[in-house]
Amino acid sequence: NAGVTQTPKFQVLKTGQSMTLQCAQDMNHNSMYWYRQDPGMGLRLIYYSASEGTTDKGEVPNGYNVSRLNKREFSLRLESAAPSQTSVYFCASSAVVNTEAFFGQGTRLTVV
Amino acid sequence: EDQVTQSPEALRLQEGESSSLNCSYTVSGLRGLFWYRQDPGKGPEFLFTLYSAGEEKEKERLKATLTKKESFLHITAPKPEDSATYLCAGFSGGYNKLIFGAGTRLAVHP
């Protein structure tokens, strides 16, 4: 049982480049989330999808876009990367919103 | 502003030395509080959900409790494998997001 799978695990981007982080879950969960984690700060919600076909902004959505491709997959796109987006990104899923969430292994992104 | 604050930031224990981690919150209309464990380089792993003041949950050497203003994670006779960062997060019924604390880094030495 893979749970939540994120790709890639590591990425280095130049300022202004774009990229998409991929996330897939195999637990038939309705809700999916993207968080970023920075040193000394808690996980902060970027975007979430309460159910297939819906997406909503979280606490720090600026500079990001998301797509809920289907029930399994939820991608995060950086259109024009900035150094402030250097962080560790986590995808998570839960059966419904605000229940026990399962996290992926994270993507460590560096923007230079 | 809704906040979750964890203390201490870091804690060093000797194996077998019991202690507690604190999570205080100012989340209006708190509907529930989560505890997670995070190992270096990995994603958080779910431990407990607490929904109401007075509730307690246990798992092996860990016990989580909830009051109206804070939650405690008690670690009894810890072992080195309990070393990790412990995160708490609260959610309100008013919006669909968790508010995470910055975590407590626990190191248990033999």
What are the beta bridge partners of residue A36?
A44, A89
C-beta atoms surrounding A66 within 10 Å: 24
Task: Report the C-alpha gap between A6 and A63 in whole angstroms.
Answer: 20
Q: Which of B88, B97, B105 should be substituted to probe chain A, the one whose Cβ sees the most A Cβ atoms within 10 Å?
A: B97
pLDDT of residue B26: 86
Give the pLDDT score at A1: 62
- pLDDT score recorded for residue B94: 57
Q: List chain A residues with pLDDT less than 50.
A: none
What proportion of chain B, given as a percentage, has pLDDT over 70?
96
- Compute the distance between CA of residue B88 and CA of residue B71 in angstroms, rounded to an integer: 9
The pLDDT, as a whole number, for residue B93 is 65
User: Are the beta carbons of A97 and A29 closer than 8 angstroms?
Assistant: no
Per-residue pLDDT, B30: 81
pLDDT at res. B91: 83
Which residues have CB under 8 Å from A98's CB, separation 6+?
A: B31, B32, B91, B96, B98
* Pairwise pLDDT comparison (B36 vs B97), residue with the higher score: B36
Tell me, what's the pLDDT at A81? 97
As given in the structure block, the two tokens for residue A18 are 């774009």
Confidence of residue B3 (pLDDT cuts 50, 70, 90): confident
| Each residue's pLDDT tens digit, B39-76 | 999 999 999 999 999 999 999 999 999 998 999 999 99
Distance of CA A83 to the CA centre of its chain: 17
> Could you tell me which residues come within 8 angstroms of residue B68 by beta carbon, excluding any fewer than 6 positions away?
B53
Q: Provide the chain B residues 14-43 that lie in CB contact (below 8 A) with chain A.
A: 31-32, 34, 41-43
Tokens linked to A83: 């150094």
Distance CA A22, CA A34 (A): 10
| Partner residue opposite A58 with nearest CB, options B34, B42, B97 | B97
pLDDT-based confidence at residue B28 (cuts at 50, 70, 90)? confident
> Nearest C-alpha of chain A: how many angstroms from B82?
19
Average pLDDT, chain B: 93
